[in-house]
Amino acid sequence: MESARVAGFGTSIFSEFSRLAVQHGAVNLGQGFPDFDGPKEIAQAAIDAINGGVNQYAVGQGAPQLRAAIAAHAKRFYGQVLDPATEIGVTSGATEAIFDAVLALTNPGDEVVLFEPFYDSYLASVQMAHAVPRFVRLRAPDVTHAQWWLDDAELAAAFTSKTKLVIINTPHNPTGKLFTRAELERIGELTRRAGAVLLSDEVYEHLVFDDGKHVRPATLPGFSDFTLTVSSGGKSFSFTGWKVGWHLGRRELVAAVQKAHQWVTFCSAAPFQAAIGKALELPDSYFQGFVESYTQKRGFLSAALTKAGFEVLPCAGTYFLMARTDRHRKAGEDDVAFCRRLLVDHGIAAIPPSVFYSPEHASHVHGMARFAFCKTQPVLDAAADRLAKL
């Protein structure tokens, strides 16, 4: 009955772990969304929009007020100058923008370069479009590399005459890596040479720690010709359920993505567009407070994991910590088995990172687990208590 397009998908590990977490009363550090709401005045803006009659289809490309706010935000944080009429489109979350972009920019058989570990919707989108993924591994920190890193020969070999799209994510889920300017320039050079498009998923753009700098690829010299930037309001404003996303770039790229969007969802939820437009206009103090609060959460969970014997890898951005689990892993246990046991026997839910890899390369992270710290202090306290008993 199912089409070949979806037959391979199965149930995601996230559903299984969410179900097990409820069943075992686990502290849930698996799910990548906050267990608290965003700013009250932004929630109120959505309520006001509903009460004020913003309840019918929005303009397909995105409410003009929201597009104006996205343009102002891009100018404020990155110095980008964008025409809201032609260079910005709104979708139902970043996920839809990515799916639309893959549909709009690849033909069946075209190749898409993905960096492992990748956000899982990338591969599903590529598969549904009958395009072909080409994987490049981010390699874990080691004695000579303080951060996750790329092997240049492997990177270059992933590009062929069929490459049409390259999808990067910075700040990067699940590793917490910020791509450096040098890495982005190299990826850009290869993308340009292949005549492909670089899709840059920046949903964690405001979660950057320790005075680190998020480099928006589209702002590097020459990149605006071939780069489509994707982001959304979910992570930056702690309203992941609202699913307001957007894409920006050269008008031809945005128009192509909008062609798919008009038949995928047509428009994103109107009242939430109004509220996210207000959120993007929040003062700098909001964004500073946001980073401070997450810096505290990162420090707390990192200390608790370290004390419990995990080796926590550096996290420069996002709200995830990757940790090596060797001290607690039983012989022969992979990350899925380890995380299942951590949940069932110890009441702590974490995500096995091999779900962000192709099956061929999954063993690269069998000794790791991903812990989310987008949680309230009582939940982090409970996690620390349980970790201390390991």
Ligand X SMILES: Cc1ncc(COP(=O)(O)O)c(C=O)c1O
Q: Which window, 91-99, 192-200, 214-222, 355-363, contacts ligand X (CB under 6 A)?
A: 91-99
Asked if 119 interacts with ligand X (CB under 6 A), we say yes
Of 80, 169, 227, 273, which lies in the binding site for ligand X, with binding defined by CB under 6 A? 169
Per-residue b or e along 380-390, where b marks 16 or more CB atoms closer than 10 Å to that residue's CB: bebbbebbeee
How many Å apart are CA 113 and CA 116, to the nearest integer? 10
Determine contact, residues 68/282, Cβ cutoff 8 Å. Answer: no
Q: Which is nearer to ligand X, 217 or 245 (CB)?
A: 245
- Between residue 266 and residue 305, which ones bind ligand X under the rule CB under 6 A? none
Asked if 201 interacts with ligand X (CB under 6 A), we say yes
Q: Which is nearer to ligand X, 34 or 234 (CB)?
A: 234
Q: Please give the size of the binding site for ligand X, defined by CB under 6 A.
A: 14
Q: Which window, 123-131, 238-246, 249-257, 258-266, contacts ligand X (CB under 6 A)?
A: 238-246
Q: What are phi and psi of 198, to 5 degrees?
A: -100, 115
Of 71, 94, 351, 362, which lies in the binding site for ligand X, with binding defined by CB under 6 A? 94
Asked if 173 interacts with ligand X (CB under 6 A), we say yes
Asked if 245 interacts with ligand X (CB under 6 A), we say yes
Residue 319 Cβ vs ligand X, minimum distance, rounded to whole Å? 9
Determine contact, residues 128/20, Cβ cutoff 8 Å. Answer: no
How many Å apart are CA 299 and CA 276, to the nearest integer? 29
Q: Which is nearer to ligand X, 97 or 194 (CB)?
A: 97
Q: What are phi and psi of 349, to 5 degrees?
A: -95, 125
Q: Is 22 helix (H, G, I), strand (E, B) or coil?
A: helix
Q: Is 98 helix (H, G, I), strand (E, B) or coil?
A: helix
* H helix runs in 281-360, sequence order: 284-307, 335-346
Of 32, 89, 117, 133, which lies in the binding site for ligand X, with binding defined by CB under 6 A? 32
- Residues 6+ positions from 23 with CB-CB distance below 8 Å: none
Asked if 93 interacts with ligand X (CB under 6 A), we say yes
Residue 244 Cβ vs ligand X, minimum distance, rounded to whole Å? 7
Asked if 38 interacts with ligand X (CB under 6 A), we say no
How many Å apart are CA 4 and CA 281, to the nearest integer? 44
- Residue 192 is encoded by which pair of tokens? 């340009």
Task: Please give the residue whose beta carbon sits closest to ligand X in the complex.
Answer: 93
Q: Which window, 19-27, 78-86, 90-98, 134-142, contacts ligand X (CB under 6 A)?
A: 90-98
Q: Which window, 48-56, 73-81, 239-247, 264-272, contacts ligand X (CB under 6 A)?
A: 239-247
Determine contact, residues 296/380, Cβ cutoff 8 Å. Answer: no
Q: Which residue carries 């992979």 as its tokens?
A: 334
Residues binding ligand X (CB under 6 A): 32, 93-95, 119, 169, 173, 201, 203, 232, 234, 240, 243, 245
